Structure 1
Amino acid sequence: MKNNLRLACLVTVSLIGLSGCHVNPADLHATNVTDSVIAGKLHSFAQSTTRPQHELPATIFYVGAHPDDIELFMGIQVLQDFVQQPNAKKVFIVTTAGDAGLGVGNGDSDRPYWISRRLGHERAVLFMVSMTGINAPSLKIDTQLVGKRQLERRTFGPNIVMYDLNLPDGGKQGTGFALTGHQSLTNLMNGSAAFIEAIDRSNRYTLEELQATLGDIVSIESKGASWVRLNLSEDRDFWNPGDHPDHISTSLLLQQVAHPAEPVCFQQIRFATYANTTKEQNVTNDELMVHAATWGAINIGRAEGHQRTTWGAAHNAWLGKIYPTATTSSGTACVP
């Protein structure tokens, strides 16, 4: 009975975004079970688009290591947030350029590979904006002072914000690539590298400086919010085996620095990534179609940047699947 109650609570949280459920983290993080307690839940867009008044104003953060991680592994949650919580500010943070070791190079194209990846991410976000029924806004590019650094802040209208730190892709081994000096988030976090520099040389960070910058982004963009949600990839191998080192490092970095002050209601949700390959589709067919369309928008951006698409069995295996592994809430402002 106790486990059934936990499951019901978690399903409710994952479906409606915020709720009054309070789940013991020890239950979520148990190591004596073989399957996620979230397994089997079903998502649905068929819910009210009017959110409780106590949930506004709100800021929702989506954090990924590469320019397609958010769409592939938590995309259904993002789409639900756009439809169900249209007035919430939505902030996308991508830590690496996903450059595959090319740095600012073109590969075998006539345009930079990393730019095509950013274009794909932007096209997907724009598509999700259009899903709310409004006319797609123009992209605006400004700079935001974050600590002592000027970061590029890209926006679609007043409530959609994108930060791309453009750090070097660390590769599937986490050791980086020769063309980018074997820089990686893994090397920075394990102490084998003293700093990491964006491939476009826009900024350079020690570990402490990168932590401070990410923490400052959360603070700046959530200022004045009544509740804040942070969506991350799952860093624990037990729940998300065989994950990319960049995914793990990015998740850990944000977990260490994202602590909005009281009385903000702060929720954190983590999602499985590569481990979803062999899992079953757990969304409705309508959601699968929209998820596939979002993935198509990413590939249109890649093609627009004169690069090959990644539409194919390897990536398409992640469509129609969303598996949260942990949901935690804190703050006196969290109310039913």
Structure 2
Amino acid sequence: MKIMLRVFLFVFLSKISSGFEVKSWTESRILGEGPHWDDKSQNLYFVDDFGSSIHRYDPKEEKEYYCKVHESAPVSIVIPIKDKPNEFAVTIGKNLTIVTWDGTSKTPESVKTVVALDEGPGKEENQFNDGKVDGKGRLWVGTMGPVKNDDFTPTAGSLYSIEMGKEPVKHFDNVSISNGLIWNQNYDKMFYIDSPTRKIDVFDFDLENGALSNRRLFFDVTDYLTDIKYGPDGMTIDDNDNLWVALFGSGKILNINGKTGEFIKEIKLPVTCPTSIAFGGTHLDELYVTSSAFFTKPEDKKLYPASGGTLRIIHVGVKGRIANPAQF
């Protein structure tokens, strides 16, 4: 059965996205998110947000390992910590933790909370969401309100930067679902997504001081698509400074010129709800795409059997950049 599904996916993808090929995919998860390629170990790390677990995929073995880090709280990012083998920055609910994990066991050696975020009255149920590390080792991570009845809480979140031993710095609020942040090669621009706005914004970025300024619209997804149910989710950037953006609910990746904001191309996927993207592989020329099974309609699961899996796409034609480890 698994072989038949792989053949179906290869044929399906080749018909709609010539040149791209799904090499493999992981087991379906509730809400796959936060892919991070660790260039040192040549492994992919990601999370199952609703499954409260962190995952490691070894492409040489074509094998996935996972570890449950909480009974029920959402887990949104897992990023290896620089020069500390088996230690990871992991967001669990509204806590930033350091998780010690050997990469194979089903339970962690330890989970230590280093930041317990308090966003004030009325936001007790907020949680961390998407996050990445800048060129100085700061963790940038946003928050969002609780998801109830499959819907989000509007404008309850914020965007923060966090350095070890310091209080989190809030850069702005009134965010609904904080997602998709990434920097250009020079670290003088930061791209950002608040998913329900269906827009990508760009800031001028001061790497030395970790400061944002001059927020402006960079790309409006509704100018390209009108039948959007959700919106842009996670994104990454290639070595040409062009963006690759997951369209949650639309089953696509958009490739956008990172300098002009012009649409370059799309990749249609064998999942309806891609969540985020990371470049990986020995030469950083493969795309890893996490996805959600939770928001996939029952009738779509038969047509898109990879839903909830993490896709490995080859023949991309461009390379990414090495993802920064956390420095805690």
TM superposition score category, shorter chain reference: 0.3 to 0.5
Larger relative strand fraction: 2
**Taking structure 1 as the reference length, what is the TM-score of the superposition?**
0.32
Higher fraction of helix: 1
TM-score normalised by length of structure 2: 0.33
Question: RCO higher in 1 or 2 (8 Å CA, sep ≥ 6)?
Answer: 1
